[in-house]
Amino acid sequence: MSSRPPLPPYSPETAAQKTRLAEDAWNSRDPERVSLAYSEDSRWRNRAEFFSGRPAIVAFLTRKWARELDYRLIKELWAQHDDRIAVRFVYEWHDDSGQWFRSHGNELWEFDAAGLMRRREASINDRPLAEAERLFHWPLGPRPAGHPGLTELGL
C-alpha cells in the first residue's frame, strides 16, 4: 500500500495542505491521477450518484470532465478532526453550448492510516453564470499561488 502524506491525525495546517493537494489534483482534470488519492475500495456519494472503487472513480471523473469544460476549482478547509476533513469548494465551468456555471459545494472526507481517502460525501449546487461574472481566470491547471481563495473572493 502506498501512502499519501500528510497522514492523519490532521492538524489545521496539515488538513489545509491536504486540501490544497486535492485542489491541485482535481484541477489537473486527470482522472487516473486523481483516483490515486483514494483507497482501492473508496466509497463516494456525489450529488445523487453512489459508487465505490478506483475504476468507478475514474469513470465518473472522465464523464464529469467531458461535460464540465474549462473546469477551474478552489477548495477551502472548513474543519478537521483526527482522520476527517470537511471542505467547501467552488468551481466554474461551461457546457458544450458555452453556458458558464458556478458550482458550490461541501465535501466530507474520511482517510485511512496511509492518508488515502476511503470515503467522500459531496453535496453540490450549480447556478448559471454570465461570462462577465466569472472569477476564476487562471490558465487551465493548478490555481496560481497568488490567486485569492474563496474567502478572499467573497464566496
CATH number of the domain residue 120 falls in: 3.10.450.50
The answer as to whether 43 is a domain residue is yes
Is residue 140, in this structure, part of any structural domain at all? no
> Is residue 2 very low, low, confident or very high in pLDDT (cuts 50, 70, 90)?
confident
Domain assignment present for residue 7? The answer is: no
C-alpha span between 73 and 24 (Å, rounded): 8
Q: Is the pLDDT of residue 117 over 80?
A: yes
What is the chain's mean pLDDT, rounded? Answer: 97
pLDDT greater than 80 at residue 1: no
Total count of domains within the chain: 1
Q: What is the pLDDT of residue 149?
A: 98
Q: Is residue 128 part of a domain?
A: yes
Residue recorded with cell 502506498: 2
- Is 114 contained in some domain? yes
What percentage of the chain has pLDDT greater than the value 70? 99
**Residue 154: inside a domain:** no
Please say if the pLDDT value at position 136 is more than 80.
yes
Domain with 54, as residue range(s), is 12-133
Judge contact between 103 and 124, C-beta under 8 A: yes
Q: What is the pLDDT of residue 90?
A: 98
Indicate whether 129 pLDDT > 90.
yes
pLDDT tens column, 32-74: 999 999 999 999 999 999 999 999 999 999 999 999 999 999 9
Instruction: Indicate the pTM of the whole model.
Output: 0.97
Does residue 51 fall inside a structural domain? Answer: yes
Indicate whether 133 pLDDT > 90. yes
Distance CA 101, CA 103 (A): 6
Strand, helix or coil for residue 13: helix
Segments of the chain assigned E as strands: 38-46, 49-52, 69-81, 84-94, 100-111, 117-129
Whether residue 127 is contained in a domain is answered as yes
Cβ–Cβ under 8 Å, residues 87 and 106? yes
